[in-house]
Amino acid sequence: MAFPEEALVGCGGCDPCHSGAEHCDYHHDLAETVPGPSTERVAELARELDLYAVFGLAERDPHDAGVLYNAAAVVGPDGIQGTYRKLHLGSLPWVTEGVTFQPGNALPVFETRFGPIGVMICYDFWFNPELTRLLALKGERLILNCCATFAGPGKRDYMVQTTATRAQENLCYAVSANQVGGPDSANSYAAGRLQEARAPDFLGHSTIAGPAFPRFSHIYAEAGDHEELVTATLSFEKLHRWETIFPWRDWRATHQSPTSELIASEFQKLARGS
């Protein structure tokens, strides 16, 4: 089961964070370590129900209580497997997460009895396709995107199609679990109001997508703009049929390895500002 970004605490800024304060009692009081009360309770349920759950929360650093992360916990029948911490944090005036949280520093792959999975959070998934590609090269066959994507013009098509694209370009399954709900009045996109804080008006339309051999891309399920549970049956056996005719991971490590090295070196140059 995949839940949205910050599912345990809700996605919304507070006055101190909107003003750029260095400390916020509200979010610090909501945050917890992993393992912690919430993840331990979910682990009990996961064990009882024999399922995996991925859900967003505000995570407190176990070594520095003053550091918080926008994280997604991965819990299964065998217990708490860890967290993914969002790497790309948004900024004022639209969101406060860049004030509230510190970015993560890892791209973990989590082992499950169904195979390896990867986790992304919102902007990491939507605008940074290299992260999903790296996870796919590391072995993930299912990517779970816990998100809190705002509603807006054209956003439904963007959300569904981008989820399908991430799945197609990496020949894996992709799930985007999005927040729903918001104010009665929509946010304005008028030029003179773009610097205003955004009210948390979330799109919904959680999506499950991926290849359906011989199709490269298929939408297995899509929610509406209200809270609901959507499900799909995914076949890893069917997914793996692509590997017999299009083993792109193997190509990257063999005859395409010079290209892989070139891509890595170009990213390294950009990271160094050269």
User: What pLDDT, in 10s, does the model give residues 87-130?
Assistant: 999 887 778 888 899 999 999 999 999 999 999 999 999 999 99
Q: Are residues 269 and 174 in the same domain?
A: no
Q: Are residues 182 and 261 in the same domain?
A: no
Please compute the mean of the pLDDT values over residues 252-271 and round it to a whole number. 94
Domain presence at residue 66: yes
DSSP codes joined into one string, the chain: -B--TTTTT-S---HHHHTT-S--HHHHHH-B-SSSHHHHHHHHHHHHHT--EEEEEEEEPSS-TT-EEEEEEEEETTEEEEEEE-SS---TTT--HHHH--------EEEETTEEEEEEETHHHHS-HHHHHHHHHTT-SEEEEEE-PBP-TTHHHHHHHHHHHHHHHHTSEEEEEE-EE--SSPPP--GGGTTSPPP--EE---EEEEEETTEEEEEEEE--SS---------HHHHTHHHHH--HHHHHHTTTHHHHHHHHHHHHHHHTT-
Domain of 255, in residue numbers: 240-274
Q: What is the pTM of this model?
A: 0.92
Between residues 198 and 134, the one the model is more confident about:
134
Please compute the mean of the pLDDT values over residues 241-252 and round it to a whole number. 93
Q: Are residues 264 and 141 in the same domain?
A: no
Q: Are residues 36 and 89 in the same domain?
A: yes
* Mean per-residue pLDDT over the chain, rounded: 91
Number of domains in the chain: 2
Domain presence at residue 42: yes
Please compute the mean of the pLDDT values over residues 11-31 and round it to a whole number. 75
User: What pLDDT, in 10s, does the model give residues 163-193?
Assistant: 999 999 999 999 999 999 876 555 555 555 6
